Amino acid sequence: MKPLSAASSIEEIAAAVSNALSEAGITAVLSGGGAVQIYSSGLYPSKDLDFVSPANHREIETAVGKLGFVRESGRHFVHPNCTHTLEFPSWPLAVGRRLLSEWGEYPVGGLSIKILTPTQCVMDRLAAFYHWRDRQALDQAVAVANRHAVNLEAIHRWSLEEGHEAAHQEFRRALARSAPESAD
């Protein structure tokens, strides 16, 4: 893989980081805005990549340091030639109150990114909508659901577990409104 630079795509950066962490024996899963940017084909850009990991920050610092990232503060890392920053929120990996023990992989060249699945990404964005009424998070959930096969029944069951049936219905209406019209 070529060295990271300001011209590196979010996918290239995330794949390089995911690979470096995996090579160091560190589990880290891309979530949040970085996952949304990838799954929404750039419709919702993000300047940071949130990798949820159980590893301590010294282990992470060693692994991503090989790529040129340095710790800026606490769980935040920057690269002198890269516009994206890294953040390592604390484990466990969860969407709302549901803990996750499985996730997806997104291929990039010969590498891959450990990342929330599209269904989990929709749930992650809906959690922000349900709990904080974040309208952009609702729009992001709709954008991801429009571009990828997601399990709408699993999302509905999860929404019920979270206690947000009415807000889930708002998501379903927004999804229906955004669906392309079928040609007759």
Range of the domain at 53: 10-115
Q: What is the mean pLDDT of residues 70-86?
A: 94
Tell which of 63, 88, 115 closes a domain.
115
**Residue 81: is its pLDDT beyond 80?**
yes
In a domain, 83, yes or no: yes
96 plus 46 within the same structural domain: yes
87 plus 171 within the same structural domain: no
Per-residue model confidence (pLDDT) at position 3: 85
Per-residue model confidence (pLDDT) at position 181: 55
Number of domains in the chain: 2
pLDDT band at residue 34 using 50, 70 and 90 as cut-offs: very high
Per-residue model confidence (pLDDT) at position 183: 44
**Residue 182: is its pLDDT beyond 70?**
no
Q: What is the mean pLDDT of residues 40-49?
A: 96
140 plus 155 within the same structural domain: yes
| Cα–Cα distance, 154 to 126 (Å, whole number) | 13
29 plus 82 within the same structural domain: yes
Residues 93-122 have pLDDT tens digits of 999 999 999 999 999 999 999 999 999 999
**Residue 49: is its pLDDT beyond 90?**
yes
Q: Express as a percent the part of the chain with pLDDT over 90.
A: 92
Which CA distances in Å does 180 have to 37, 47, 48, 143, 175?
A: 21, 29, 31, 12, 10
Per-residue model confidence (pLDDT) at position 179: 80
